[in-house]
Amino acid sequence: MAKYPKDLIVRPLEAGEWDLIEKTYVSEFGNGMPHNPAQSTFYGVFLGEQLVGFAHLEKLFHLNAVFLNEVHRNRNIVEGVFDILDSEIPDNFPAVIFPDKDVKKLLGKYGFVSLGNTDLWRKEY
């Protein structure tokens, strides 16, 4: 069982919460932010009531992909996000994230492998 914080919540964003995500993270991501949030399923990552990050699922190069923002800097939170989203991720779901080396090791636990010298990590079956 993951040792992620008990008050970690990963849930789809509600009406109006996209604005909070945009204000909080758009300067960090710049052009990396999705241009049309309506084409993505957005999940807020909360510790209690505090928004600490987001994940979004969208089509990328004809693949479903999950993006995580700065939550990837906390291994326990990343593990919790993957555990919570696991039931929502189809078997052929790759992950696109920007992991540090500790999180790269963690991705292996979840069956992800790196596709060369890129930030694309794909589930291996």
**Please, which pLDDT band fits residue 39 given cuts at 50, 70 and 90?**
low
**Please, which pLDDT band fits residue 43 given cuts at 50, 70 and 90?**
confident
Q: Which two tokens mark 59? A: 């089509």
Given a contact cutoff of 8 angstroms between Cβ atoms, the answer to whether 13 and 54 are in contact is: yes
As a whole number, the mean pLDDT across the chain is 63
Separation between Cα atoms, residue 5 and residue 23, nearest integer Å = 25
52 Cβ partners below 8 Å, 6+ apart?
A: 45, 46, 70, 71, 77
Q: Which residue has the higher pLDDT, 33 or 52?
A: 52
- Sign, CA dihedral 100-105-111-115, equals positive
pTM of the model: 0.56
Separation between Cα atoms, residue 20 and residue 69, nearest integer Å = 14
**Please, which pLDDT band fits residue 51 given cuts at 50, 70 and 90?**
confident
2.60.120.560, 3.40.50.360, 3.40.630.30, 3.30.110.30: which CATH number matches 8-123?
3.40.630.30
Residue 6 has what pLDDT?
82
Mean pLDDT of 99-105: 60
Q: How large is the angle between the packed helices 101-109 and 75-85, nearest 10 degrees? A: 30
DSSP 8-state symbol, 94? -
Residue 63 has what pLDDT?
44
Mean pLDDT of 99-122: 64
Q: Which residue has the higher pLDDT, 83 or 72?
A: 83
Q: Is the pLDDT of residue 10 over 60?
A: yes
